[in-house]
Amino acid sequence: MPENTQNYVTAVGRRKTASARVKLTPADKNSVTVNGMDAREYFNTAERESVTGDAFRVEEHKNNYEVMARVQGGGKSAQAVAVRHAISRALTLIEEGSRPALKAAGFLKRDPRAVERKKPGLRKARKSPQWSKR
């Protein structure tokens, strides 16, 4: 654990326009709370809820953590990936040995893909107006 007076670690994760601030605290069992709600309840689907816990499943941790996340922006899927990114970053601060496994799984890299901006004269970013001969 880092040398500080608190018994928790904070980290930030991002994906598209979603941003997640996470606080990891040692606990009896792993639990994820997002915006004051249980992750299963907040994300509605089991797939999105499981994405948030992926960082814990990459390699077996001896310690369990309570995760309190504040997310804003983006959609639910991007928010779930942002929470995973933040949890992974926080775990590397607590347990230095977990970094290689998390990095190999791709959880420490911010996904740079975002929506391309709309260009003038086009209907969308790349879609052109319908061509008409007359």
Query: Count of domains in the chain?
Result: 1
Residue with token string 């509605």:
44
Q: How many CA atoms lie within 13 A of 16 on its CB side?
A: 16
Q: Kindly state the tokens that stand for 119.
A: 């260009």
Per-residue pLDDT for the chain (134 aa), expressed as one digit of tens each?
Answer: 555 557 999 999 999 999 999 999 999 988 999 999 999 999 999 999 999 989 988 877 778 899 999 999 999 999 999 999 999 999 999 988 889 999 999 999 999 999 999 999 999 999 999 999 98
Q: Looking at the domain assignment, is residue 110 inside a domain?
A: no
Is 125 inside any structural domain?
A: no
Q: Is residue 113 part of a domain?
A: no
Residue 14 is assigned to a structural domain of this protein: yes
**Domain range enclosing 53:** 9-105
Distance of CA 103 to the CA centre of its chain: 14
Closest CA to 72 of 32, 33, 20, 13: 20
Q: What is the pLDDT of residues 93-107, one digit of tens each?
A: 998 888 999 999 999
CATH number at residue 20: 3.30.230.10
Answer yes or no: is 27 within a domain.
Answer: yes
| 82 touches 15 (CB < 8 A) | yes
The answer to whether 26 and 94 are in contact (CB under 8 A) is: no
Question: Do the Cβ atoms of 16 and 80 come closer than 8 Å?
Answer: no
- Cα 57 to chain center, whole Å? 15
Domain assignment present for 123 = no
Specify the 3-state DSSP secondary structure of 11: strand
Q: Which two tokens stand for residue 40?
A: 């299963």
The answer, as to whether pTM is greater than 0.75, is yes
- pLDDT on residue 41: 93
Establish if 133 belongs to a structural domain: no
